[in-house]
Structure 1
Amino acid sequence: MTNFPFDVVAFDLDGTLVDSAPDLTAALNHALGELGRPPVSAEAVRHMVGHGARALLTKGLAATGGGDEALVERGFPIFLDYYEAHIADRTRPFDGLERALDMLATRGVKLAICTNKLESLSRTLIDALGWQDRFAALVGGDTLPVRKPDPAPLFKAIAQAGGGRAAFIGDSITDTLTAQAAGLPCVAVTFGFSDRPVEELDATVLIDHFDELIPALEALGAAVPG
């Protein structure tokens, strides 16, 4: 099928493609424990994700008594080592995602990932989920000198996937700001890791389940000039 309105659909990773909160929480709490701090809840972590692993640790320290950059530097490798070893213990795709990805592929759409997660960790997670052949591009938080909400990583992901008309799928204000900066429509999922009410994300459209993604993109394609 060649009449789909988008050539490339790019996705955020954590909170958009996958519910990684259980494994991120375990890694964060491991690092906090090593630093003598109490654990934080998975629900709290859901509102801390989106700016990369170092920012997650910084927020975890802030929530448990604060900490300076030296403490972040001490805890960061502890977090990374544990998380890499347990990156897909309980991380799972959101319901309906893989069916939606299959439908996009059937329509000839190239799929890309644009995340603030470190590129190496992102690739490790994609491999663990068996998604090596699903995505034509992956740009992480350290792939370029800048990260989201700068639009450059999104532009790079789209270009690596072949270019053309594109849309971005995300779950946070970081994602909607990235799409706006890139001049692209943004579909925001309501079940992700947003740090604010989803109605405040200013996304082009909101979806409550991945079964709604294809119709939402088709409607966007009809409404937004090419």
Structure 2
Amino acid sequence: MEIKLVIFDLDGTLVDSLPGLAHAMNLVLAEEGYPLHPEESYRHFVGHGIKNLVFKALPEEAAREEALLEACHGKMLGTYGRDWDHALRLYEGIPSLLDALKERGIRMAVNTNKDQAITRKIMETAGTQPEETLYVGDTLVDVETARNSGAFCAAVTWGFRTREELEEGGVGWMVDRPLELLEILEGRKKTP
């Protein structure tokens, strides 16, 4: 197996955006007079886009009202668009990993909430085949994205989901620290 392209999920894989997402949605909830959620709750709200996050953060009866859901979704997009960098940080070890991949001549891309067709376009643009690609993410959505595109998958344990959740989804490789990805690329980590 020769990996020529590594596609990274963004949120929960490269960057910890949870504080900013929680901050922005809690501002929307406060404006609407709804209860706020602790930051940790947002770990389970993310993974299927902003609209899904809004749906999960709203009280159940409010989320079922389509007009209110749309209005809150619009407010969230505006609030997060303004405060997207609130407490945003790269995960420890990510800069070193990116440098190491660059030194090895491995192409890199970032994919966030994209469907199968977009993922395939990224591979075509990078000049690689799915079997030459490693998709790295932190949720089962990322695992499905890799499977649907025919790429290999590595799930990171420092992101928004627990190791147990990822193992239940039948993830190939589990990665506990960024530089461990190099072990996969060098063939030192057993193929799933």
Check whether TM > 0.5: yes
Identity %: 36
More deviation, 31-40/20-29? 31-40
**Alpha-carbon distance change, 219 to 63 in structure 1, aligned in 2, over 3 angstroms:** farther
Determine the structure 1 residue equivalent to 2:142: 175
More deviation, 101-110/191-200? 191-200
The CA deviation at 1:212 is 0.8
2:117 pairs with one of 129, 140, 152: 152
- Check the 8 A contact 2:30/2:36 in 1, yes or no: yes
Determine the structure 1 residue equivalent to 2:91: 94
Residues 104-130 of structure 1 show CA distances to partners (whole Å, capped at 9, x for unaligned) of: 0111111111111xxxxxxxxxxxxxx
Determine the C-alpha separation between the residues in 2 that align with 1:103 and 1:209. Answer: 14
Structure 2 counterpart of 1:212, one-letter code: E
Corresponding residue pairs, total: 189
Structure 2 counterpart of 1:57, one-letter code: V
2:37 pairs with one of 35, 40, 44: 40
* Alignment RMSD (CA, Å): 2.2
Gaps spanning 5+ residues in structure 1: where? 117-140, 142-146
1:190 pairs with one of 133, 141, 157: 157
Determine the structure 2 residue equivalent to 1:130: none
Residues 20-58 of structure 1 show CA distances to partners (whole Å, capped at 9, x for unaligned) of: 000000011111112221111111101111111111111
**Alpha-carbon distance change, 187 to 62 in structure 1, aligned in 2, over 3 angstroms:** farther
Gaps spanning 5+ residues in structure 2: where? none
For residue 85 of structure 1, give the secondary structure of its aligned residue in structure 2. Answer: helix
- Check the 8 A contact 1:9/1:169 in 2, yes or no: yes
Determine the C-alpha separation between the residues in 2 that align with 1:92 and 1:36. Answer: 30
TM-score, normalised by the number of residues in structure 1:
0.76
